[in-house]
Structure 1
Amino acid sequence: MENVVALLGEPVCSGQFIMCVGVHSFVDGRRAILIPGAAVRLDEMSMVDWRRGGWTGSVNRWVRREVHEHMRSNPAASAARYDIGVRALRYAFRVGTFRRFVGLYLVVDLVFLAAEAVAAWTAPDSLPSWTASGPPGIDLKGLVLNVSSYLLSTQVGALGVVSLALALVTLVAQREGSSTDVQLYHHESLSFELVASCVALLAVLCVQLLWPLQFLLHRLSLGTDLQVFKLGLLGIHVGWLLVNLCAVAHFIVTTFRFVQQSARERLRERYTANVVLPLEMTERLRQQLYGLANSELIEAKVDAEEGPDVMFGTDFGEPSVVEIESTFANPTALHDFRMIGGQPPSCPLARSRAHYGI
């Protein structure tokens, strides 16, 4: 265990656990393969401060905070951490799928529609008059249409580049017979998220060439002839395209690195330190807390032989006597367990809340 601590720089979790988790490599020039679960030492489990899980004492939040503090203070993990630009891109593309991108934009569009209807009804004189289209001013309707067509063509070109690069990398990976590296490439390059975002923006730009919801609003005599709200949505389109172009640049850089063997090793190290290690630490910490449910989560004071067996999140087999049994209509899994108030309850299960999710 001392070798594990020396390699990682400090215990896996600050002050609560020392746990050996699976790690493949780090960027300090040394390589190691650690056996998951090889050593576990509990220091202060009887004094778990549930306030670290927020005012509800969330187990998930408690674990995330422990993992976050470790990843920030661990030298090896910090050396392999994503830079601020990559973290910003990953945060922007957390939406992930085409349906979610379109759904999020639809919400934004509805907000603009509601704002236009309210402004036209309550304070029409407060809207900027320079956004009126036609003589003697600028033809803003034509300008919005032209800019939208330019954005559409730019997005089509960027999506074509991404498609060619994905085909090239797939051929290279198949030739080398490494499916794991293909999965690594897709994650590090944000390829799935990027394609979903590009296709979603293309769909939005095509639909908004006609502005159907705005047309419906004007047919109901609830809108305004001023183009201020269309200009606002156009600004969102431009910003969305710029984010996609930044992601395309990141995608191209990652692609060039992936075809080089030395740079591919660096990608593996970053993926291990930023994805594999936090996920494994989170899972093992949750399992440890759930495994100690009797003494920690409900603070059972009765004799272990006579007291209840309380287990969360892990199947330890059938209990001897089932007191309460529930059958869920849909497949259900335990998502979180909250200690209301941030401290272990004095009355078993009196203040605990289990949150389930499908």
Structure 2
Amino acid sequence: MIGFLWETFKIKCLGGLREEVAREVRRHLRTNSAIRNVPQPFGYRMLKRFYGKGGLLSFLLRYAGLYAIIMLGCAAIVSLFPNWVPKSGLNSDRLPDVQNVTSYFLAAQAVMIGLLFPVALGVISLITQREDASSTVSDLQVYYSESFAFGVGASGIALSIVLAIHVFWPAGYVLEYLGFSDAGTYFEVVLLIAHLLWLLVNFAALWYFLVTSLSFMRPAQRALMRRRYAALTAIPDYLTVHLLNHRYIVRLAAEIAKKVGWDKAKTALLFGGRLERGEVELNNKALSGQVLSNVWQKPLMWVIRRWLKRCNKVEGAVGSQPDLDFCPDFRRPLSDDGIICRRIGGIPLDKIERFVVGQSFRFKAKKP
């Protein structure tokens, strides 16, 4: 739900190109009978939502958000309904019990991590040592995706970090400093329940990982996993990449020109071009070698509209046929100079416009 709201916010407020394409791809896949007929058990769908694309930082950020919500909620309960809260505070006898339970959780999570990685390495070794090496790379991708090995490992490490910090009960001191020490009991209980649920989900994912790992050696199960990987991962990724390139290079210039009143007969707007002409308006060498991840269209439209109005106010600027060339490309990493925008004719972008353009193009590190 939160992911859907965040995606909607990016589409409505920022005009996120990747989010628009992702939603369009999902609509297409829902109407494709071949994709819909691929077996997707309920447990698999839930685990894919939780572990599918999560890394260590992603899990820690999710927990930080949940942590803040729980803390604010407990503080609000103490303020609004003081009679509901038992007077416990930091000096409560429950604190040693909380630390003991947390240490038990940490030990259980450490055992899970110790079991996960040897099994994963063993299966990978079996795959790579087969005589038929033609499908080794694809089978590794299928196993990596279908077993959620990376997501389960990242979640386990994230929970271990959280529990190791929580042993010292830092939240209690924060609540006492803010004057909400009476909220300690509620916070202890809710946080312990959250940690327990996370641990149980990790154990459920570990069980699924073990079943998948042991089943992967069976040809029938491996064929089913390949089919599911192709339908739910490979095909959506392929469609997303190609649709992003098409929308960005072919359609985006026309859409922006129509919305901002850009006369293509007098001016030009180019995306993904590397013509190496004109004045460099914006570059960032720190982004050199990174690839384009997303484009926020609405801020970019605002810049183009604002710049075009300023050009119209300058005598002769429109007659000089001002062009803007946005160099980032979804298919290629950014140049060594980190050039993002070039201008031919017209007037230079001001500091505000350069800043907004820099924020409108979102980059990520290129995968090895």
TM class, shorter-length: 0.5 to 0.7
Match of 2:257 among 273, 282, 298: 298
Spell out, residue by residue over 1:116-162, the C-alpha distance to the aligned partner (whole angstroms, 9 max, x if none): 5555566532315799998xxxx644553443344233323322321
Whether the 8 Å CA contact 1:293–1:310 is kept in 2: the answer is: no
Q: 1:162 and 1:222 mapped to 2: Cα distance? A: 40
Aligned equivalent of 1:327: 283
Q: CA deviation at 1:265?
A: 2.0
Aligned equivalent of 1:88: 46
* CA distance 1:181–1:301, change in 2 (3 Å): same
Match of 2:188 among 230, 233, 252: 230
Aligned equivalent of 2:165: 207
Q: Which amino acid aligns with 1:186?
A: Y
Q: Which amino acid aligns with 1:245?
A: F
Q: 1:237 and 1:193 mapped to 2: Cα distance? A: 17
* CA distance 1:76–1:147, change in 2 (3 Å): same
Aligned equivalent of 1:357: 362
Listed as ranges, the gaps of 5+ residues in structure 2 are 1-10, 310-355, 364-368
Alignment of 1:1-358 (within 5 A): 54=12, 58-80=16-38, 82-93=40-51, 96-117=54-75, 120=78, 123-128=81-86, 140-141=94-95, 143-176=97-130, 177=133, 178-215=136-173, 217-218=175-176, 222-224=180-182, 227-289=185-247, 290-299=249-258, 307-312=266-271, 314-315=272-273, 317-318=274-275, 322=278, 325-331=281-287, 333=292, 335-338=294-297, 355-358=360-363
Give the alignment's TM-score, normalised by structure 2.
Answer: 0.66
Q: 2:220 and 2:182 mapped to 1: Cα distance? A: 59
Whether the 8 Å CA contact 1:58–1:336 is kept in 2: the answer is: yes
Spell out, residue by residue over 1:32-60, the C-alpha distance to the aligned partner (whole angstroms, 9 max, x if none): xxxxxxxxxxxxxxxxxxxxx64765543
Q: Which amino acid aligns with 1:246?
A: A
Q: Which moved more, 1:152-161 or 1:329-338?
A: 329-338
* CA distance 1:185–1:223, change in 2 (3 Å): same
User: Which SS does the other structure have where 2:182 is aligned?
Assistant: coil
Q: CA deviation at 1:255?
A: 0.8
Q: 2:33 and 2:307 mapped to 1: Cα distance? A: 41
Q: Which amino acid aligns with 2:108?
A: T
Whether the 8 Å CA contact 1:132–1:225 is kept in 2: the answer is: no
Whether the 8 Å CA contact 2:142–2:229 is kept in 1: the answer is: yes
User: Which SS does the other structure have where 2:297 is aligned?
Assistant: strand
* CA distance 1:297–1:285, change in 2 (3 Å): farther
Listed as ranges, the gaps of 5+ residues in structure 1 are 1-52
Give the alignment's TM-score, normalised by structure 1.
Answer: 0.67
Q: Which amino acid aligns with 1:83?
A: P
Spell out, residue by residue over 1:246-279, the C-alpha distance to the aligned partner (whole angstroms, 9 max, x if none): 2112212211221112321222221111112112
* CA distance 1:121–1:64, change in 2 (3 Å): closer
User: Which SS does the other structure have where 2:188 is aligned?
Assistant: helix
Aligned equivalent of 1:26: none
Q: 2:362 and 2:124 mapped to 1: Cα distance? A: 35
Whether the 8 Å CA contact 1:59–1:338 is kept in 2: the answer is: yes
Whether the 8 Å CA contact 1:258–1:264 is kept in 2: the answer is: yes
Q: 1:76 and 1:208 mapped to 2: Cα distance? A: 47
Whether the 8 Å CA contact 1:54–1:61 is kept in 2: the answer is: no
Q: 2:53 and 2:293 mapped to 1: Cα distance? A: 23
Q: Which amino acid aligns with 1:328?
A: N
Question: What is the percentage of aligned positions where both structures have the same residue?
Answer: 24
RMSD after superposition: 3.8
Q: CA deviation at 1:76?
A: 1.1
* CA distance 1:347–1:141, change in 2 (3 Å): closer
Aligned equivalent of 2:340: none
Aligned equivalent of 1:12: none
User: Which structure's relative contact order is higher, taking Cα pairs within 8 Å and 6+ residues apart?
Assistant: 1
Q: 1:269 and 1:255 mapped to 2: Cα distance? A: 16
